[in-house]
Amino acid sequence: MATGNINVTAENIFPIIKKFLYSDHEIFLRELISNATDATLKLKHLSTLGEVKGDIGEPRLEVIVDKDNKQIRIIDQGIGMTGEEVEKYINQVAFSGAEEFVEKYKDKVPDSGIIGHFGLGFYSAFMVAEKVEIYTKSYKEDSKAVRWECDGSPQYTLEETDRTERGTEIVLHIAEDSEEFLDEAKIGGLLSKYNKFMPIPIKFGTKEVNDPSHTPETTTDKDGKETTEPHRQITVDSIINNPNPAWTKQPSELEEEDYKSFYRELYPMQFEEPLFNIHLNVDYPFNLTGILYFPKLTQNMDPQKDKIQLYQNQVFVTDNVEGIVPDFLQMLRGVIDSPDIPLNVSRSYLQADGAVKKISSYITRKVADKLASLFKNDRKAFEEKWNDIKIIIEYGMLSEDKFFEKADKFALYPTVGGEHFIWNELVEKIKDAQTDKDGKTIVLYASDAKAQHSYIEDAKAKGYEVLLLDSPIVSHLIQKLETSKENISFVRVDGDHIDNLIKKDDNKISKLSEDEQTKLKEVLEGSIPKETYTVQLEAMDSSANPFIITQPEFMRRMKEMQATGGGGMMGMGNFPDMYNLVVNTNSDLVGEILNTKTAKKQERLIKQTFDLAKLSQNLLHGEELTNFIKRSYELIK
Ligand SMILES: Nc1ncnc2c1ncn2[C@@H]1O[C@H](COP(=O)(O)OP(=O)(O)OP(=O)(O)O)[C@@H](O)[C@H]1O
């Protein structure tokens, strides 16, 4: 037996480790299982090189919670260690890692997000254990099994032991303040959080299953009633992980159904199927695999739940992928696995890191390429999914210039009639009819097909296309399209009278003389509230409505952009709503208003016509609506 002093400068680093990692004690299990997995993968590798004698079988790990003896044991059948290796790796290497950690963090406020990702390794065992034993036997021929023991002080014991199997068993004697970890359900939960997709099978307890070698017999009694005996149950080892998750396979090995069933495995509480998936697979200049899913976005979706999960070599790290996955894709679900993402750094450093930037733009590119190919291969299916994916795509177009450029190939512009165009098709379709006298192509759009119905009909009557753009961020997107595409301008269909939205040269002649027009304007301005409405006389078709209320595009858009955050003009959000009252000087009714003899009748006609215009814009409410209804009854009496 040998005893010795672990070479540390700090008198006793364990209390420090405990203190610093207070919020993250649970990572000990992930660290020890990672070590056990590494040892097993190394053994498998050496075996393929012919350096291990005999057949290694199907090595696996086992985790045992022994509440009575206050122990947790982690057992592997990996390469094991010789006595010298324990000296070297556990007493020196592992300790220097722990010491380095303490050095680095002792003066800092711990950020659990970062510390949890620091590979503290073997010594994290002391966060929960008052004493740790290692029983280990190396795969090397003639090596003797050893037992190492340490109670958290710098002193350790190392001696030979009679273990015969290859591999390592770590015995944690759980400290009094960590007894919560002796709860099987707690350990089960941690295993499924961190180790659900580790590459080596992990046994944790047993479970009852139907005996596959037994077929229950069905008997028929004298009355012809059938009875089937219950399945025979057998007890089998419970393996808590799937060592070969879908993302570790090649896309060519997987069918659509495999992707769907992996989605269910990742998010067992999700009942909605994903819309489609993107398989990520790259070796150079960084290593990254993964599968991303476009979920069906629903009203009551909780963005904190079922997020993208980040793994490193199949070990769960976090579901906070900020900085690694571009913001607009954080609504996606799935898995990313990359050993190349530095995790023991702060988020701001992460965002500035070159490799991470490359990863983020790779993901953006892959998503754009996938969308383009989905559109190309099955346009109809893509159009059907548009409503579910447009928010993500539009957000991406706004936030990532590269994505914006690529989106010309798949971003859809739907019309109120249910057709879908990509950008070039749209411009081609409208350019002849909808180019104004200054050579600008005007894109007309509605945000609500029902509320803006009469305006849409007016536009259609002229042979114009009207888009239906109803996402919350649409005003930002329009602004971006106007600045990046040449000679294009968007106007909402109720922004003005249709002849003013797309101004052509043919000026209509007004039936009213200059004098009559001045008089009409005076009369109207006397009855229409000036603070909100600007009276604007227009010579239109005599069949067009006499009064039309419009909201100037610029004002409305600025207010909308403010409401959805950023972009708009400061202070616009608190501005009162401003409208134009467009008056058709060629309408017979307008002529009648002008020529009515009594002021009282004139006032009544103006009020009634104005209320009707408001009604068609859904602007008539409360007392005004009550008065309108009263007045209407009077009129038809
Ligand atoms: N179960 C095990 N079987 C065989 N060797 C092991 C086992 N656990 C630990 N070791 C050895 O001890 C060394 C130190 O382990 P430790 O976990 O502290 O650091 P690490 O795994 O090298 O790095 P990290 O800090 O990322 O965890 C390992 O590199 C390995 O050689």
Give the mutation target among 35, 44, 92, 172 for probing the ligand 1 site: most ligand atoms within 8 A of CB.
35
Mean pLDDT in residue range 303-312: 83
Better-predicted residue by pLDDT, 114 or 68: 68
**Residue 5, SS3?**
strand
Coil, helix or strand at residue 168: strand
Q: Choose from 78-82, 326-330, 360-364 the range with maximum mean pLDDT.
A: 78-82
The vertex-189 CA angle with 183 and 194, nearest 5°, equals: 130
pLDDT score recorded for residue 180: 95
List 583's β-bridge partners, or say none. 537, 547
Compute the distance from residue 121 Cα to the ligand 1 centre, in Å.
6
Give the closest residue (by CA) to ligand 1 atom 14: 94
Q: Give all strands (DSSP E) within 35-166, no chain letters.
A: 61-66, 71-76, 129-137, 146-150, 155-160
pLDDT at position 402, please?
Answer: 92
From the list 442, 434, 454, the residue with the least C-alpha distance to 553 is 442
Percent of the chain with pLDDT over 90: 54
Distance between CA atoms of residues 263 and 413, nearest Å: 30
In the block, residue with structure tokens 């165009």? 421
Ordered by where they begin, the domains of the chain are 2-204 (3.30.565.10), 246-381 (3.30.230.80), 412-501 (3.40.50.11260), 514-635 (1.20.120.790)
> In angstroms, what is the span from residue 135 Cα to ligand 1's centroid?
14
The alpha carbon of 99 and the centre of ligand 1 are apart by a number of angstroms equal to 15
The whole-number average pLDDT for the span 479-496 is 91
- From 21, 30, 42, 122, give the residue whose CB has the most ligand 1 atoms within 8 Å, as the site to mutate: 122
Listing DSSP states for 448-506 in one string gives -TTTTHHHHHHHHHTT--EEE---TTHHHHHHHHHHHSTTEEEEETTSS-HHHHS--S-
- Whole-number pLDDT of residue 465: 96
Nearest to 477 by CA among 378, 560, 588, 574: 560
Counting from 1 in the atom list of ligand 1, the atom nearest the Cα of 42 is 4
pLDDT of residue 100: 63
Which residue's entry shows tokens 């919020």? Answer: 23
More confident residue, 394 or 302: 394
How far lies 255's CA from each of 258, 296, 602, in Å? 5, 20, 74
Mean pLDDT in residue range 319-333: 88
**pLDDT for the residue 272:** 86
Amino acid at 525: E
For residue 269, give the 3-state DSSP assignment.
coil
Ligand 1 lining (C-beta closer than 6 Å):
31, 35-36, 39, 76, 78-81, 89-90, 93-94, 97, 119, 121-122, 168
Distance CA 62, CA 309 (A): 25
Q: Residue 501: what residue type?
A: L
User: Would you state the pLDDT for residue 196?
Assistant: 93
Q: How confident is the model at residue 575 (pLDDT cuts 50, 70, 90)?
A: low
C-alpha 136 to ligand 1 mean position (Å): 13
Task: Please enumerate, as own/partner, the contacts of 566-571 that have beta carbons within 8 Å and a separation of 24 or more.
Answer: 566/476, 567/475, 567/476, 567/479
Contact call for residues 415 and 467 (beta carbons, < 8 A): yes
| Most confident residue range from 70-84, 268-282, 445-459, 594-608 | 70-84
Confidence of residue 483 (pLDDT cuts 50, 70, 90): very high
CA distance 262 to 246: 6
Closest residue by CA, ligand 1 atom 29 = 89
Q: How would residue 23 be classed by pLDDT, with cut points 50, 70 and 90? A: low
Closest by CA position to 204, among listed 329, 309, 327, 72: 72
Length of the chain: 637
Ligand 1 atom at shortest distance from the alpha carbon of 170: 1
Average pLDDT over residues 451-470: 93
Name which of 183, 199, 202, 182 is nearest 191 in CA terms.
202
In the predicted model, what is the mean pLDDT of the chain? 87
Cα of 217 vs centre of ligand 1, distance in Å, is 52
The tens digit of pLDDT for each residue in 380-411 reads 999 999 998 998 999 999 999 999 999 999 99
Instruction: At 430, list the tokens.
Output: 């409208």
CA 19 to chain centre: 34
| Phi, psi at 238, each rounded to 5° | -95, 115
In this prediction, residue 356 carries a pLDDT of: 82
* CA distances (Å), origin 62, targets 168, 183, 189, 484, 540: 11, 16, 15, 59, 84
Q: Look at residue 137 in the predicted model and tell me its pLDDT.
A: 97
Hey, what are 117's tokens? 């990702």
User: Lowest mean pLDDT: which of 319-328, 570-579, 590-599?
Assistant: 570-579
Does residue 229 have a pLDDT over 90?
no
Neighbour count for residue 321 (Cβ, 10 Å)? 20
Instruction: Give the mean pLDDT of 583-605.
Output: 91
User: Both tokens of residue 374?
Assistant: 């989905």
The arithmetic mean of pLDDT across residues 615-628, rounded, is 90
List the end-to-end C-alpha distance of the chain, in Å, as a whole number: 114
Q: Which residue has its alpha carbon closest to ligand 1 atom 28?
A: 89
Q: Do 43 and 165 touch, CB atoms closer than 8 A? A: no
Question: Looking at residue 243, what is its pLDDT?
Answer: 94
Token pair in block for residue 560: 């909308």
Report the DSSP beta bridge partners of residue 146: 136, 160
List all residues 6 or more positions away from 20 whose beta carbon is below 8 Å from its beta carbon. 102, 105, 106, 110, 115
| CA 53–ligand 1 middle distance (angstroms) | 23
Give the range among 7-11, 147-151, 235-239 with minimum mean pLDDT: 7-11
pLDDT, tens digit (0-9, with 9 covering 90-100), for 501-532: 888 876 778 888 999 999 999 999 999 998 88
